[in-house]
Structure 1
Amino acid sequence: MPPNPKYCMDTSSYITAWCHHYSPTIFESLWKKVGEALNQGIIISPREVLDELERGSDDLLKWAKLHKAAFVELEEKPQEILSDIMRSHPKIIDLNIAEIQADPYVIALAKHTNTIIVTEEKSAVDSKKKLKIPDVGKNYKVKCIPFGKLIEMEGWKF
């Protein structure tokens, strides 16, 4: 694991930024900065985020695989946090989906590394179906921001 990560990025931010707001064909220099932050260990994600990205074999997946070292396996302590999250917030995953869901892994890794979660998910406290990262993250005292706020906090200019 990188020594001093600052952010733990969720799948939703990679996909939303890449596909909807900051296309790499237009914002090439942004994605270069994100890649550098991944390579330097400033941004990390659990391996399960890469697994979710693999469900759509496209240019984002190819780009993410160039930065594979930033997608880390959860070690023992974050696994304990993950178990606690699943026990106390079982609705963090959708039981109707068979594939691995990265949300609880993102929260566990962020809590363990004391990083800020970057996610496009919005709070949905009253959701009957599935809890959202910001709601569960709040219970673990983990701050959540959208991708645009990451750009602002890092002072990236284009």
Structure 2
Amino acid sequence: MEKLDQLVIDGRLGAPQAVFDELSQKDNDHLFNWAKAYKDKLFYSKYTPDFLQNVADIMERFPKIIDENSEKEQADPYVIAMAIEYKDQPQQKLLYQNVMHCYRREYQKTKR
């Protein structure tokens, strides 16, 4: 995890607050404990109106991306919206291409 630690410290790794909220639902989870140590530096909670619109658009277009019967936080649409928002940043290939691959795969599931 040292490389991940350094990415967070350098400001090169981030996630929406919804990811932290989802991780926090698991008891005694190693990943959550690691994320908690970097909460202020790793997670973004100031969502822009465009970001929130992207989340809504994703959920409207791909309703099966979340389990509507679950009461737990589901971060997937937020992660995809963040990838869309940051697609033109220097880390484009690291973030955007991998997330969009997952996005397209999820879309294929909704067509079935």
Q: TM-score range by the shorter chain?
A: 0.7 to 0.9
Tell me what 1:93 maps to. Answer: 66
TM-score, normalization by structure 2: 0.73
Q: CA RMSD in A?
A: 2.4
Equivalent position amino acid for 2:10 in 1: Q
Gaps of at least 5 residues in structure 2 are: none
Matches within 5 A, 1:1-158: 31-58=1-28, 59-68=30-39, 69-73=41-45, 74-114=47-87, 115=92, 116=95, 123=105, 125-126=108-109
- Write out per-residue CA displacement over residues 136-155 of structure 1, whole angstroms, 9 at most, x where no aligned residue: xxxxxxxxxxxxxxxxxxxx
Gaps of at least 5 residues in structure 1 are: 1-30, 130-158
- Write out per-residue CA displacement over residues 5-61 of structure 1, whole angstroms, 9 at most, x where no aligned residue: xxxxxxxxxxxxxxxxxxxxxxxxxx0110110122211111111111111232322
CA distance in 2 between counterparts of 1:82 and 1:111 reads: 10
Tell me which protein shows more strand as a share of its residues. 1
Report if aligned partners of 2:16, 2:82 keep a CA contact under 8 Å in 1: yes
Report if aligned partners of 2:16, 2:78 keep a CA contact under 8 Å in 1: yes
In the TM superposition, structure 1's runs of 4+ consecutive aligned residues that sit over 4 Å from their partners are none
Tell me which protein shows more helix as a share of its residues. 2
Partner of 1:126, secondary structure, is helix
CA distance in 2 between counterparts of 1:128 and 1:65 reads: 37
TM-score, normalization by structure 1: 0.54
Residue 103 of structure 1, CA deviation: 0.3
Residue 106 of structure 1, CA deviation: 0.3
Report if aligned partners of 2:55, 2:78 keep a CA contact under 8 Å in 1: yes
Percent identity for Structure 1 against Structure 2: 33
